[in-house]
Amino acid sequence: MGIPVAKSDRFDVRTIVAAVKRAAGTPNGMLALHEPVFAGNEIAYLEQCIKSTFVSSVGKFVDRFEEMLAETTGAKRAVAVVNGTAALHACFRLAGVEPGDEVISPALTFIATTNAIAYCGASPHFVDSSLQTLGMDAQALGARLDAVAQRGPEGTTNRETGRRIAAIVPMHTFGHPVDMDEIVAIAKHWDIPVVEDAAESLGSTYKGRAVGSEARLAALSFNGNKIVTTGGGGAILTNDEELGRRAKHITTTAKLPHKWAFVHDEIGFNYRLPNLNAALGCAQLEQLDGFLASKRRLAAAYDRAFAGVPGVAFAREPEGTTSNYWLNAILLDEAHAGQRDEVLAALNDSGFGARPAWTLMHRLPMFAASPRGDLSVAESIERRLINLPSSASIQARND
């Protein structure tokens, strides 16, 4: 599976627009890249929450949302927080990332991954992506560590910078799982903790296992454009009960339980998810299976529609995985990468809210001096990837 090779050089922007129409229909107005679907108990639960007056970080919906997340993902503990960036920041803190450390990250990621590293006073260290998964390439990770890493009394360090390599953070791009087994094996060899950025991949599976289900630490996001939304929101997943306890403690301002006293035993964060947002999340999680089925039908329709389109390949789920297809994507052949913006303009002019991949992190001024390995695949993906409208509400055509 992964990215197939296109069969012809007869490239025509109009055929791409026509393929999107065959899969997603002709839009009435602008078809958004990804918008939420509220078709369940959202209003009822929000009303219950408001009437209870418990609308901040304490209430039955926060507890229920965490229980539902643990059940859905298979993780032992889920700790709900205000957004995915906060979840990542807390995960890095729990993993022991400290000022002056390095964290190995893909250059092709949303900036939240890299910002959360910087919040810890650490530096990102970028590695390349895989064309099959669009996420961190395990072989590139192994090669980079072999080239720069060394073991010492303080753990694994970068011999070129002298800094400790404190964590590795693979991210499942657009919901497509990376090769976690290989990445975890490499991390174990170098004794480096793994923090799994699963912000985009709720509902995806890797070798039959839910993404994030076996992680020591993983982060989810429930932003308004995610497959399940709480408006804003995120969660920390862990199978370590003590880490779960600490995750809840440090994200609740590190306040010690007491009937009235305000005693805090360490620097903490006001990161807990409000009960009001959790009420929305509970209703959304009840519909997750339907959202996943709808998005996979749309992905299949896109795959069929682009099967015969010259110069374009649809990004399929990697072998051995089940993707939630959070965002569907096509890649132009490298020979036509220079026409990416022309394709984006044509799609948007036709009512399809298409967008390019994120700007690679090492191109941003605040991370330009960060250490990095060869990023040629990520740079190629950046030049030619286009995301297509992917909402669960889109009725797939050609079924």
Q: What CATH number is attached to the domain comprising 330?
A: 3.90.1150.10
pLDDT at residue number 397: 86
On whether residue 330 sits in a domain, the answer given is yes
Angle, helices 138-148/180-190, rounded to nearest 10 degrees: 10
Under the banding of pLDDT at 50, 70 and 90, the label for residue 5 is very low
At position 342, the amino acid (one-letter code) is E
* Structure token pair of residue 235: 């969660």
**Residues 339, 327, 292: CA angle, nearest 5 degrees:** 150
pTM recorded for the entire structure: 0.95
Average per-residue pLDDT for the chain: 96
Is 264's pLDDT higher than 70?
Answer: yes
Is 184's pLDDT higher than 80?
Answer: yes
Using CA atoms, how far apart are residues 291 and 279, in angstroms rounded to an integer? 18
**Section 86-114 average pLDDT:** 98
20 and 60 part of one domain: no
Under the banding of pLDDT at 50, 70 and 90, the label for residue 6 is very low
* Structure token pair of residue 344: 């984006």
238 and 300 part of one domain: no
Burial of 71 (0-12, 13-18, 19+ CB in 10 A): exposed
On whether residue 398 sits in a domain, the answer given is no
pLDDT at residue number 214: 85
234 and 168 part of one domain: yes
On whether residue 261 sits in a domain, the answer given is yes
pLDDT at residue number 2: 59
**Section 127-143 average pLDDT:** 98
**Section 148-167 average pLDDT:** 96
pLDDT at residue number 83: 98
Using CA atoms, how far apart are residues 238 and 154, in angstroms rounded to an integer? 25
On whether residue 6 sits in a domain, the answer given is no
On whether residue 122 sits in a domain, the answer given is yes
Report CA Rg, the chain: 21
74 and 28 part of one domain: no
23 and 47 part of one domain: no
**Section 294-314 average pLDDT:** 97
Closest CA to 281 of 50, 67, 34, 32: 67
Is 373's pLDDT higher than 80?
Answer: yes
SS (H, E, C) 265-293: CCCCCECECCHHHHHHHHHHHCCHHHHHH
Examine the fold and report which residue of 242, 270, 285 is the final residue of a domain before the chain moves on. 285
Percent of the chain at pLDDT > 70 equals 97
On whether residue 3 sits in a domain, the answer given is no
Using CA atoms, how far apart are residues 354 and 47, in angstroms rounded to an integer? 35
Using CA atoms, how far apart are residues 251 and 272, in angstroms rounded to an integer? 6
149 and 248 part of one domain: yes
* Structure token pair of residue 140: 């590139």
On whether residue 397 sits in a domain, the answer given is no
On whether residue 274 sits in a domain, the answer given is yes
Q: What is the pLDDT of residues 221-260, one digit of tens each?
A: 999 999 999 999 999 999 999 999 999 999 999 999 999 9
Query: CB within 8 A of 190, min separation 6: which ones?
Result: 145, 149, 151, 156, 165
Query: CB within 8 A of 173, min separation 6: which ones?
Result: 106, 108, 109, 129, 133, 134, 135, 200
Neighbours of 203 (CB within 10 A): 22
The domain in which residue 339 lies consists of 13-33+288-388
Strand pairing category for 196-197 and 218-221: parallel
Using CA atoms, how far apart are residues 69 and 60, in angstroms rounded to an integer? 14
Examine the fold and report which residue of 243, 259, 285 is the final residue of a domain before the chain moves on. 285
Q: What is the CATH number of the domain that holds 141?
A: 3.40.640.10
Closest CA to 152 of 141, 166, 164: 164
Under the banding of pLDDT at 50, 70 and 90, the label for residue 330 is very high
List, as one string, the DSSP characters of 36-70: ----SSHHHHHHHHHHHT--SS-SHHHHHHHHHHH
281 and 292 part of one domain: no
137 and 170 part of one domain: yes
Residue of higher predicted confidence among 108 and 1: 108
pLDDT at residue number 3: 56
233 and 371 part of one domain: no
DSSP for residue 108: S
Under the banding of pLDDT at 50, 70 and 90, the label for residue 9 is low
Cβ atoms of 268 and 115 closer than 8 Å: no
Examine the fold and report which residue of 234, 263, 285 is the final residue of a domain before the chain moves on. 285
21 and 67 part of one domain: no
53 and 200 part of one domain: yes
Coil, helix or strand at residue 220: strand
User: Distance of CA 100 to CAs 157, 163, 192, 266, Å?
Assistant: 11, 7, 16, 20
Using CA atoms, how far apart are residues 137 and 182, in angstroms rounded to an integer? 9
Total domain count, the chain: 2
Under the banding of pLDDT at 50, 70 and 90, the label for residue 10 is confident
281 and 296 part of one domain: no
166 φ/ψ angles, rounded to the nearest 5 degrees: -95, -20
